[in-house]
């Protein structure tokens, strides 16, 4: 896969699922997009939040999680 044109990347978070297992607590964001689909896992470990982005982000460049969270926020109905 070539370099992703970030301006043309359109994402849809279609499921948010919390989880607890023997190692972590967190949440999985399931997404689909014009560039594919996947899961972004956020989990708490050693007093810090971590993200497993399936190589979409890095600690220095968090563009994809911003896109996912913005999509989730826009779809959120606030009561």
pLDDT at residue 2, as a whole number: 58
Q: Confirm whether 78 is domain-assigned.
A: no
Query: Number of folded domains in the chain?
Result: 1
- The verdict on residue 79 lying in a domain is no
> 77 lies in a domain?
no
User: Has residue 68 been placed in a domain?
Assistant: yes
Asked if residue 40 is part of any domain, the answer here is yes
- The answer to whether residue 1 sits within a structural domain is no
Helix boundaries (H) for the chain? 63-75
Per-run averaged pLDDT (10 residues), the chain, 79 residues:
82 97 95 96 95 94 96 96
pLDDT of 1 reads 46
List the domain range (segments joined by +) for residue 12. 6-72
The verdict on residue 26 lying in a domain is yes
Q: What integer pLDDT is reported at residue 3 of this predicted model?
A: 82
Torsion of CA 69, 74, 77, 79, to 10 degrees: 90
Phi then psi dihedrals of residue 27, to 5 deg: -145, 145
């Amino acid at each position: 896969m070539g370099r992703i044109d970030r301006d043309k990347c359109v994402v849809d978070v279609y499921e948010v699922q919390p989880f607890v297992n023997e190692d972590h607590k967190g949440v999985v964001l399931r997404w689909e997009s014009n560039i594919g689909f996947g899961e972004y896992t956020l989990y708490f470990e050693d007093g810090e939040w971590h993200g497993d982005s399936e190589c979409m982000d890095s600690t220095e460049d968090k563009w994809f999680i911003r896109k996912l969270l913005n999509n989730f926020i826009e779809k959120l109905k606030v009561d």
